[in-house]
Amino acid sequence: MQTTFSVITGCLFVNGDDVGSLERSLSFTCRVFGFPGGEEFKWSPRQNTWMYRNLVDHNREDFFRAVIQTCSDHHTKVSVIVSDSDSRTPASCQTHQEFVTKMLIERVDWLARDARISAIIVADRPGGGRQQERAFLDNCLENILGGTGYVMPENIAMNAVSTDSHFIRLLQAADLMVSSVTAYIAGENIYSPPIFEMIRPLLATSMGRIGGVGVKLHPDYWYVNLYHWLLGDAHFIRNMGGWPLPSAARRYARDANTP
């Protein structure tokens, strides 16, 4: 498959009782693999970083596997939202950025309700400076207090807060999860497949499927068959109804490589 999703977000959902232990465990894993103090890890590190130069090939894959296993040991859940900006902007949103934020809030609220807890969203500070950060937080607050149009979030305790991912290993782990899942879905077939297979059990599910929950692709009517080929879903479900996959009436009816 060759496609590009240019607007992406997602979350690593952690029970509050496990946050401290997971943060410390991730920091310990970084020390074991030789990260200098305060050095950030990412799925795709910049060329001027220690990780890019010193953690390569199988060592990098081993590190990613250790991070994912640590997250699994702490019972985390993952949800990823990807939107094709070549598609029409959803009617309820002015931009694809607003749309993926709305979808993320819905999924955080669902995960919190399922866990019977109240959630707090801690987000990586958006690029583009204070104005973009303020716009993101305003959008979060609007959806948390006023609803998304489909869901009135009752399980998110307060508005989102943002900080630099450099300071929080959990945010770095979220980048690893979201970026590697997106790379796999977009057709990267060298590095992402083995990492995706480790992440797959962490993807949020509902009614026996990942599509629309652990991975949300927009627009569904373009990409719904990818829920079958890439995630293993047997059915697409919406509003308590659905149909079997793959669907001959949608793109990628034959396989994940043929639109």
How confident is the model over 200-224, as pLDDT tens digits? Answer: 999 999 999 999 999 999 999 899 9
Give the Cα separation of 108 and 148 in Å (integer). 12
pLDDT digits (tens, 9 = 90+) for 123-146: 999 887 888 899 999 999 999 999
Mean pLDDT of 170-186: 96
Give residue 2's pLDDT band: very low, low, confident or very high (50, 70, 90). very low
Task: Please give the pLDDT value at position 238.
Answer: 82
DSSP 170: H
For the chain, the average pLDDT equals 94
Q: Higher confidence at residue 173 or residue 240? A: 173
pTM of the model: 0.94
**By the 8 A CB rule, do 148 and 106 touch?**
yes
188 has a pLDDT exceeding 80: yes
DSSP 171: H
Neighbours of 45 (CB within 10 A): 17
